[in-house]
Chains A and B, each alone.
Chain A
Amino acid sequence: MMPALPAWVAIPVAVLLVISGLLTLTGSLGLLRLKTFYTRIHAPTLGNTLGVFCVLVASVLISSTLEQRVVVHQFLITVFLVITSPVTATLLMRAAIKRNVDTSTPQPQDVPVQPSSVGHEAEDGKAAADAGEAAGSPAR
């Protein structure tokens, strides 16, 4: 068990821990509840960045108070996450665009071929919207 902490350390540490827990819970709730993949990928970044940062600031405060000197090696995790989290998000997003995982737009094999010109117009409009949304994907 940890020894006694002064009040000016204990209150910010408690506030930071509660904020971090709520942020991480919000991020994972968004990951569970949002509709499409392109919106879901935004949600956990909240827990990745700000949730971890709050916990590490709390850890730095407690360690520095207990050891009577400045301890900042916990920021190593924050620096590492700030570097690596965009790499993962970019690669996942490119994979999703390439595989066209957005379930709100119909897949090309699900759309029946319409002989009338109205169907062609609708399909062309959908293809243009898809090309605008997923720029860089090969044309179908």
Chain B
Amino acid sequence: MTELVYWAATFALGCYVIALVFSALRLWRGPASTDRVLGLDTMYINGMLILLVLGLQFGSPLYFDIALLISLFGFVGSVAMAKFLLRGEVIEP
């Protein structure tokens, strides 16, 4: 039964890598700046999912903390870039 979980995790990892490539393509050729920010946000989420499934495969609890940090900093970065595109300034006086 562990073989089943192993192969399912491998399949999910392959899907996440393809999704990461797709969002990187959107980041590369997005026509507007907001498209690039959206692609970067999706790349953060996909990288976080890859780390979660790797931690599930290796049985290590360290990967969970890395995934939590990635989601936190991804949110901060995306909000900062969206605020810059909205106002022209990240922190307004």
On whether the beta carbons of B46 and A31 are closer than 8 Å, the reply is: no
On whether the beta carbons of B85 and A40 are closer than 8 Å, the reply is: no
| Contacts of A56-85 to chain B: CB distance below 8 A | 56, 58-59, 62-63, 66, 73-74, 76-77, 80-81, 84
Q: Interface SS of chain A: helix, strand, loop or mixed?
A: helix
Size category of the B interface is 35 or more
On whether the beta carbons of B35 and A2 are closer than 8 Å, the reply is: no
Give the docked Cα–Cα distance between A24 and B9 (Å): 14
On whether the beta carbons of B71 and A14 are closer than 8 Å, the reply is: no
On whether the beta carbons of A96 and B32 are closer than 8 Å, the reply is: yes
* B41-61 near A? 1/0 per residue, CB < 8 Å: 110011011001101111101
On whether the beta carbons of A98 and B42 are closer than 8 Å, the reply is: no
A103 — which chain B residues lie within 8 A by C-beta?
A: 31-32
* CB within 8 Å for A96 and B34 given contacts A1-B59, A55-B49, A77-B68: yes
If A13-B8, A74-B64 are given as contacts, then 20 extra A-B residue pairs at C-beta distance below 8 Å, sorted by A number, are A1-B58, A2-B58, A4-B1, A24-B16, A25-B15, A28-B22, A31-B42, A44-B38, A44-B45, A48-B45, A51-B45, A59-B52, A77-B48, A80-B72, A87-B75, A88-B82, A92-B78, A95-B86, A99-B33, A103-B31
Residues of B within 8 A of A (CB): 1-2, 4-5, 7-9, 11-16, 18-20, 22-23, 25-26, 31-35, 37-39, 41-42, 45-46, 48-49, 52-53, 55-59, 61, 64, 67-68, 71-72, 75, 78-79, 82-83, 85-86
